[in-house]
Amino acid sequence: MSDLQPMPAAARLARVLDRFPALAVAVSGGVDSLTLASFAFAHGVPLSVIHAVSPAVPAEATARVRELAAAQGWDLTVTGSGEFEDPRYRDNPVDRCYFCKTNLYDRIAGLTDRPIASGANLDDLGDYRPGLIAATERRVVHPLIEAGMTKADVRALARELGLGAVAELPAQPCLASRVETGIAIDADDLAFVERAERRLSALTGGGTLRCRITHQGVAVELGEEAMGQAGAVDALMAQLCAGDGRAYAGSRAYRRGAMFVGAPTMGA
């Protein structure tokens, strides 16, 4: 048996980053990309941090990016992502994420000549992620994947970096992931989802929850920790939906990728 110890995740990531004289990190506001940007900045990589806003990006994610950028002194650019200008994205096919990332990375490429880095981690490779195809076509690099880092590794690194609540952020795919395949992506729907999830989070104390726009109406999916509050959730959602002229289809157990109809393996 070898006495050699596995290289820590931080050391593996540092080795990957040492290949790049500079990077442009696409930061969504989630734990993965924020941790990547924070580590790269601390490691001394010349860094551009780019955050794209759209109706599909929660306002709290943008606020989180701005707060961390100010605290650490990042060179931050906030830009429009452009996907709502693309009818292929708005039509919401099963590969909608491909068109989202196509627009995002093309927009970032117009702002910098540095290699573009995403915050994708090793766990993402097990999901249906057409956005990764767009990334490959545009030579986007994935340092966390190259370093063999899982979501758990990323959270552990975020704690090491002292990122506080960022390390514990629940998975939070873009708001468009709440819309069932084939229902056109609409900014008003996404605004309703954002409002509803904010109210639901306050009611349940957080955890996993999704407000879904389905062909049967608005549905709520709850993680195990919140299922005991389904009655209160249903009452609140019935009120919110009635006030917005929407049909409420009830609550149910959370299922990853429930809105992707026709995709092989999903995670949203």
Helical axes 151-160 vs 31-43, angle rounded to 10°: 50
Q: Give the single-character DSSP code of 234.
A: H
Q: How many residues does the chain have?
A: 268
Q: How many other CB atoms are there within 10 angstroms of residue 63's CB atom?
A: 11
Q: Are 96 and 176 in contact (CB under 8 A)?
A: yes
Q: How many other CB atoms are there within 10 angstroms of residue 173's CB atom?
A: 18
- Rounded CA-CA distance 141/118 in Å is 6
Residue 174: active-site member = yes
Which of 100, 174, 211, 241 is the catalytic position?
174
Pseudo-torsion of CA 33, 28, 74, 163, nearest 10°? Answer: -50
* DSSP symbols for 115-126: PEE----GGGGG
Catalytic residues: 174
